[in-house]
Structure 1
Amino acid sequence: MGIMRLGYIHMKVTDMEEAKNHYANLLGLYEVKAEGNKVWYKGWDEWDHHSVVLEEGGVGVTKFGYKVEYEDDIAEIEKKAQAFGATVERMSAGDNPEVGDGIRMVGPSGHTLEVYHSMTEYGTEVGTHNPEAFPRHLVGIGAPCLDHALMSTPNVKEQEEFFKATFDYFTTERVDTTLEDDADTIAVWMTNNNIYHQMAVLNGPQGGIHHFAFRLEDWNEVGRAADLMAMDDTPIDIGPTRHGITRGRTVYFFDPSGNRNEVFAGGLMSHRDRPMVTWTADQVGKGIFYHARELNERFTTVFT
């Protein structure tokens, strides 16, 4: 089955001008379209038209978009989602600007998930013919691409099973209350390729989002990103630090509307035969923030 990656995330913001300053001038995303109360963005190393949609009017996530490898994959995923009991409807090319035909579904977590095959190709900022390593005139952090997101739901296990059944995801790491077979699941990290986690699911509000993340190259870029956040008085939630889970390097911070962002570098590669890692609740501080080994209250309570 052909889910290739998380293709886009559609977020709500309270003030578009403040949001544009944050996503364009701090994160360094490129504005590719503006219409009504929405703006579309891409990172400099993304070739499809957009990966982030901002819509003025509230906070939190509106929907996620997933790109498949083959057009026939859409019908296959539709059947699997319906068999699981999800609400599924067809969407037509143009329902989302520059996005082709696909399906729209609501899974157990209450999130709207869209699956599509084609999006207008915009091209990377360095092109595909003898390209440079990066654009000469990056703005701010210069985030190259969207990386992953963490959604919330009170029933993590059910959403985990949904992703396995419909998207062919597998779990790379998890946090359970204990190591017993009947343990409650607090969080899972999931993928279907070598990216260690395309989506994570955390125990929290139904239909909520904890954060969405942009990939950076290395630890130095993560540190530089934190410096730029300090220069702009951007609220930092935690970091720079390292995760025990995923082993990635990270800074968590907030956009002006209160949506949590992350910049993320490094981390493990996934393989289907790699043994799944299980963390227990008493060690979750080490798992999330490897250096401090404790969670701050804001990190565990703020969702949008």
Structure 2
Amino acid sequence: MAMTGVLRPGHVQIRVLDLDEGVRHYRDVMGMEETGRDEQGRVYLKCWDEIDHASVVLRQADRAGLDFIGFKVLNVKTLNQLEADLKEYGVKTERIPAREMLETGERVRFVVASGHTIELYAEKAPHGNGCGGVNPTPWSPQSERGIAPRRLDHALLYGPNIEEVRKLFVDVLGFTLVEHILTPDGKANQVIFLSCSIKSHDIAFGEFPEPGKLHHCSFLMDSWDHVLRAGDIMSMHKVPVDIGPTRHGVTRGCTIYAFDPSGNRFETFKEDRTPYPDHAPLTWTFDGLVGEGGLDYVQRKLHETFLTVVS
């Protein structure tokens, strides 16, 4: 169902400890555009090259983390069919009314075996990217503000039972297993990378004892130079950096990992692989995360924080 069923990650709702600090980070340092605030006090933002109303929703809470991630599907017919498929598979679903989120239609919500809440939706009001729809410009003034990622690209979520999650995403939602990292004994998956397109991944899951944890949300950059520029801006604003700048062996992505003011990890990421659904998944051994540079190809180092720090 690639590019006809589930299309792409559409939004994440992130919990922040201080809403003003969170807005300053995502709007002023990241350079995202604020597109609205709702009666619940949530703040909506989008990356410069995204067409729809918002991709990041911030909610103040007493603990950081991810409330849910939503995927846009082709149309309402597809949404209804996928909900029926989920129910037939044995998944309990909930319909969230239209406009519960600003400018967003009905959403189908469900919880997967890792403890994460996933949503599907078909309709979100267009906002545009500032380039125009007729004789468009190649970039907009917004693309020069702050770190200026192009889009919300993917998320890595940590929790238990990721083999069950893999089956649901592949068998019901039409995703492809693109890459996987094996456990130290080589008998199961430690991390799985799943795509509903020809990206290196649209979502990934890592095996972890606590359910429902956020490892990171990732934002797409135009080039390696833009990743390095993002690092400069992080340093200027004293954003705590976790890993990078470097390249992954896994997914080949050029990357910097850092933390927002609430401790939610985020990534500035340059895509460098286009796997098609007929490509066999790439396999990494757990030892390969270090010895073959799976995590950090430059230093061939396993950063302990990558395996242990979540929100």
Give the alignment's TM-score, normalised by structure 2: 0.94
Q: Does 1:295 align with 2:302?
A: yes
Asked if 1:52 is matched to 2:52, the reply is no
Residues of 2 paired with 1:166 and 1:113: CA distance?
13
Alignment-derived partner of residue 66 in structure 1 = 71
In structure 2, what is the Cα distance between the partners aligned to 1:179 and 1:295? 17
Question: Structure 1 residues 168 and 260, CA, compared in 2 at 3 Å: closer, same or farther?
Answer: same
Residue of structure 1 equivalent to 2:202:
198
Alignment counterpart, residue 24 of structure 1, candidates 12, 22, 27: 27
Tell me the distance in 1 between the aligned counterparts of 2:41 and 2:94. Answer: 25
In the alignment, does 2:193 pair up with 1:185?
Answer: no
Give the match's secondary structure for 2:132. Answer: coil
Structure 1 residue corresponding to 2:274, chosen from 269, 288, 294? 269
Helix, strand or coil at the partner of 2:130: coil
One-letter code aligned to 1:8? H
Deviation of the 1:84 alpha carbon: 2.7
Which one-letter code corresponds to 1:91 in the other structure?
A: I
Would you say 1:141 and 2:141 are equivalent positions?
A: no
Within 1, Cα distance between the matches of 2:148 and 2:184?
41
Bigger shift: 287-296 or 46-55? 287-296
Residues 93-104 of structure 1 aligned to structure 2 (within 5 Å): 93-104=98-109
1:169 aligns with 2:175: yes
Per-residue CA distance 1:201-220 (angstroms, 9 max, x = gap) = 11122111100010001110
Secondary structure at 1:281 match in 2: coil
Residue of structure 1 equivalent to 2:86:
81
Who is 1:40 aligned against? 44
What is the percentage of aligned positions where both structures have the same residue? 35
Provide structure 2 residue ranges, at least 5 long, that are not aligned to the other structure: none
Q: In structure 2, what is the Cα distance between the partners aligned to 1:121 and 1:234?
A: 31
Displacement of 1:11:
0.5
Identify the range of structure 1 (96-105 vs 253-262) with the bigger mean alpha-carbon deviation.
96-105
Structure 1 position 111 matched with structure 2 position 116: yes
Matched residues in 1 for 2:100 and 2:20: separation? 25
Task: Report the number of matched residues.
Answer: 302
- Compute the displacement of 1:178 (Å): 6.3
Residue type of the alignment partner of 1:67:
K
Q: Where has structure 1 moved over 4 Å in runs of 4 or more?
A: none
Cα RMSD between the aligned structures?
Answer: 1.4
Return 5+ residue gaps in structure 1 as ranges: none
Q: Deviations over 1:83-111 (max 9, x none)?
A: 33222112221122211123111111111
Shift of 1:131: 2.1
* Rounded Cα–Cα distance in structure 2 between residues aligned with 1:125 and 1:109: 38
C-alpha separation between the residues in 1 aligned to 2:25 and 2:7?
A: 28
Q: Which moved more, 1:242-251 or 1:92-101?
A: 92-101
| Other-structure match for 2:162 | 156
Structure 2 CA distance for partners of 1:152 and 1:7, relative to 1, 3 Å: same
Contact 1:87 1:107 (8 Å CA) reproduced: no
| Distance in 1 separating the partners of 2:248 and 2:128 | 32
Partner of 1:248: 253
- The one-letter code matched in structure 1 to 2:204 is A
SS of the residue 1:90 aligns to = strand
Report the counterpart of residue 243 of structure 2 in structure 1.
238
Farther off after superposition, 266-275 or 255-264: 266-275
State the distance in 2 between where 1:266 and 1:116 align. Answer: 25
- In 2, the alpha carbon distance for the partners of 1:110 and 1:177 equals 20
Normalization by structure 1: what TM-score?
A: 0.96
The residue identity in structure 1 corresponding to 2:13 is H
